[in-house]
Structure 1
């Protein structure tokens, strides 16, 4: 009976086409599935490196953006690692300041009083301390000066520079980039600021013009630029004396003799901002800042 049914089935005309179509459909499904599997595997292999590279670029861009934002938001800091233990013993000479502040901004050297163009910072215990970068920038000068000790100059955006003098040692090189808070060296002593003991002499300059660092601690560069547009901290100085009395001594003047300290002190007490009888600081041909001292 089974053979008879099979023979009858084989006589059906639609059987063979149906079988061929079924087999063909299975083959096509198998080929399509294989191609899709191979394609998906290849796409995953090809896309994985691209995804990793994209992630690296994205991370790099985010880091660069973070650095840019950080530099943009940086405020001027005291050049010390521990501000709580630091104190300013010599102020910046400002013609518009009080007599008390002006007197504390005079530096006695070689029987002459000179007007400080920066601030002297010490520790309360008199010990040495780490001197740090007040802002991020590029070290444009490192030198050892017989009068001011080791000196470092850092250039920032907008032609603003910070100067660090009276360093006992230096841990950076000219041409290197430093971030805010990086250690530049340690505080020491120098010949010009002997009365300050172990200290760092710190200056802030815009286009070579000195400004009072105390006025800008905690402030961004834009405030220094704004102050520069309005006028320097030496405004209000007598026209005849403003240039000469402003200048720190150069090494060539280190051995020059002058009037006694008592005579200068008497003149300073009468008129700290400068008078016709007050001894003049080095003339205009002298170095106007520690960044231009002849070594």
Structure 2
């Protein structure tokens, strides 16, 4: 009997397994159970925190919206009330060559440096009226020896614009850090006294002058720190804060006062010439006023006159 029951149950399962709908139904049931278990596990493990975060986010957004509306209604919106402010650092300018295109420019006369070699010192001498003078700046010309735009080397204020008989048109500008720049031998001037000029602005065009005839069409450029000339070539494309007054500038300035041409357009040679003329005029007046002077006295006067003339010449060469 038992064997017959076993056979009957086996045959029953075989009949069930033989149905076409059995395996699809079994697959769907298992898939549904697995999906239900996964969803239940996710909700159990992380469902509540997510819901909490969502609520917090909604609340925060609502609060922000109310705060914005209240500030907009009052008309006083202070975006920086709770923000730490940091001071803005000003950028220091670097001194540029006073030309629009440095690649098309060349320095034809250098700054006279007492520590330079003899070759550079020779290139820093200016021949004027059969005498050599030490250059306080640099002469910049174009490669084609044609006129070109002269630009501001640094931002600053135009303090003087004048026409000098020897240097041509001259522009003087003052800058921060106790700096002064000079632009001479200008054919045209495009700025006026008191104008605020930005670095790179065109202030004139290069030309010719009497004092620097050998340089042709050029701009004479000088830089002074606290009134003392410094070599512009040493500070091109360097921050203006690095420009320093030379340690031995006082001694050099005193030595150069008797031989260099300054920015005012006067030379010691001109001063000596005026002194010679003054001495000659006085001597001529004395000779004309005394017709009965003894010949010996005339010789003494002539000797005195020669000594005074020699003294004036010595001052010119000092």
Q: Residue in 1 aligned with 2:100?
A: 81
Shift of 1:232: 2.9
Q: 1: distance between equivalents of 2:99 and 2:251?
A: 26
2:258 to 244, 265, 272: 244
In proportion to residue count, which structure has more helix? Answer: 2
Query: CA shift at 1:222, angstroms?
Result: 2.4
Counterpart position of 2:167: 148
Q: CA RMSD in A?
A: 3.5
Range that drifts further, 216-225 or 160-169: 216-225
Q: Distance in 2 between matches of 1:69 and 1:136?
A: 13
Q: 1:69 aligns with which of 84, 90, 95?
A: 90
What is the TM-score when the length of structure 2 is the normalising length? 0.57
Work out whether residues 149 and 190 of structure 1, in 8 Å CA contact, stay in contact via their aligned partners in 2.
Answer: yes
Q: Per the alignment, in what secondary structure is the counterpart of residue 250 of structure 1?
A: coil
Q: Is the Cα–Cα contact under 8 Å of residues 272 and 315 in structure 2 kept in the other structure?
A: no
Once residues 280 and 116 of structure 1 are traced to their aligned partners in structure 2, the CA distance between those partners, rounded to angstroms, is: 21
SS of residue matched to 1:69: coil
Of the structure 1 ranges 170-179 and 216-225, higher mean CA displacement relative to structure 2 is found in: 216-225
> TM-score scaled by structure 1?
0.61
Deviations 1:58-101 (CA, angstroms, capped at 9, x unpaired): xxx99x94xx623x2x1111000000000000001111111111
Q: Distance in 1 between matches of 2:147 and 2:271?
A: 26
Corresponding position of 1:133: 152
Structure 1 gap segments, 5+ residues each: 1-38, 56-60, 258-278, 285-295
Distance, in Å, in 1 between the alignment partners of 2:128 and 2:315 is 11
- Note closer, same or farther for the CA distance 1:127–1:159 as it changes in structure 2 (3 Å cut): same
Task: Please show how residues 122-201 of structure 1 align to structure 2 within 5 Å.
Answer: 122-201=141-220
Larger-gyration structure (1/2): 2
Partners in 2 of 1:245 and 1:104 — Cα distance? 16
Rounded Cα–Cα distance in structure 2 between residues aligned with 1:75 and 1:234:
28
Instruction: Provide the rounded CA distance (Å) in 2 between the counterparts of 1:256 and 1:201.
Output: 25
* Structure 1 residues 280 and 115: CA distance shift in structure 2, 3 A: farther
Indicate how the Cα distance of structure 1 residues 40 and 77 shifts in structure 2: closer, same or farther if over 3 A, else same.
closer
Q: Work out whether 1:110 is the aligned partner of 2:110.
A: no
| Alpha-carbon spacing, 1:44–1:114, altered in 2? closer, same or farther (3 Å) | same
**Tell me, which stretches of 5 or more residues in structure 2 are unaligned?**
1-66, 275-312
* Equivalent residue number for residue 230 of structure 1: 247
Per-residue CA distance 1:246-268 (angstroms, 9 max, x = gap)? 344617929959xxxxxxxxxxx
Say whether the 8 Å CA contact 1:118–1:210 is kept in structure 2.
yes
Q: What aligned pairs does 1:12-31 form with structure 2 within 5 A after superposition? A: none
Give aligned pairs, total: 210
